[in-house]
Amino acid sequence: MTNLILAGDSRFEAKFRQFRYSAFRCEALQVYRGSGEDSWIAAFERGDPAPPPDRAQEEWEAMIRANKAAGRIMQRVHIVREPLHLYLEFELTWAYAPNVAAGEDIRVIAVTGAWPADLPTEDFHLFDNSELFDAHYADDGTWLGVTLVTDPVRIVQACRRRAVARRRHAVADLHHATTAPRRTTADHRRVGIRRGADNPRSPTETAGSEAA
C-alpha cells in the first residue's frame, strides 16, 4: 500500500477543518476499531445510561458546529447489514447522536441479503467533490490510514456513489438517541432510527429490497 497517510496523521485530520463546502464519508464496514471509542463501547456493553465524558469527542463536536456555522456541510452515509452487529447497535444508539446534534448529516442504509450493486463496498472520504481518499482498515476493523486518489474517473465515481447512497438512506434523525431508553433486541435498540424525508418507505424496508 503506497503513500499511506497513517491513522492519526495531522495532515488528514486538518482536512476536516480546511475543506471549502462539503466533507462526505462513506462507511461500509460493520465494525470499527482504533478510533478512541473503547471507553464508550465498554460503557454501552455494561448497560450504562449514557456515555462517559470524552474531551476528544467534545472537540470533534465543536469542529462540526464551527463548520456548520461557516456554511460548510459534513455528511456521512453508513451501509449496515441486518441483523445488526453489537458495534452498530452502539454506534446508532450512542456514537452518532452527538455528531448529529452538532450539525453532521448522518444517514444509514439497512441491507439484508445481497449487497446492492449500486452501493459502495469500501470506505472513502470525499472533500469538496474533488479530493478523494480511500480509507484502509485491518481485518478486525482497526483504522490503518488513508490514501489520496488522483484518478479523475474514481473521483467522479465517488460523487455518483455518494448521490445514490444519500437518495437511498433509511435513517436520518438520531438527535435524541442518547436519552432514549435502552432496548433488549437489535431491532429495538436502533434508537432514533426513522425514515428520511426523501424515503417514504418504512424503516423496516431495507435498501436490499429497493429498486436501483
pTM, rounded to two decimals: 0.81
Segments in the chain forming alpha helices (H)? 10-13, 15-18, 38-46, 55-69, 86-90, 97-102, 152-167
Q: Three-class SS of residue 73?
A: strand
Please report the pLDDT score of residue 168 as a whole number: 84
Q: pLDDT tens for the chain, 212 residues: list them.
A: 669 999 989 999 999 999 999 999 999 999 999 888 889 999 999 999 999 999 999 999 999 999 999 999 999 999 999 999 999 999 999 999 999 999 999 999 999 999 999 999 999 999 999 999 999 999 999 999 999 999 999 999 999 999 999 888 654 444 334 334 333 323 333 333 333 333 333 232 333 333 33
Please report the pLDDT score of residue 51 as a whole number: 94
State the DSSP code for 121. Answer: S
Please report the pLDDT score of residue 1 as a whole number: 64
DSSP output for 2-58: TT-EETT-HHHHTHHHH-SSEEEEEE--S--BSSS-HHHHHHHHHT-SSPPP-HHHH
Q: What is the pLDDT of residues 136-150, one digit of tens each?
A: 999 999 999 999 999
CATH architecture entry for 5-209: 2-Layer Sandwich (3.30)
Please report the pLDDT score of residue 169 as a whole number: 66
Instruction: Check: CB of residue 147 under 8 Å from CB of residue 178.
Output: no
Q: What is the pLDDT of residues 86-103, one digit of tens each?
A: 999 999 999 999 999 999
Domains of the chain, residue spans: 5-209
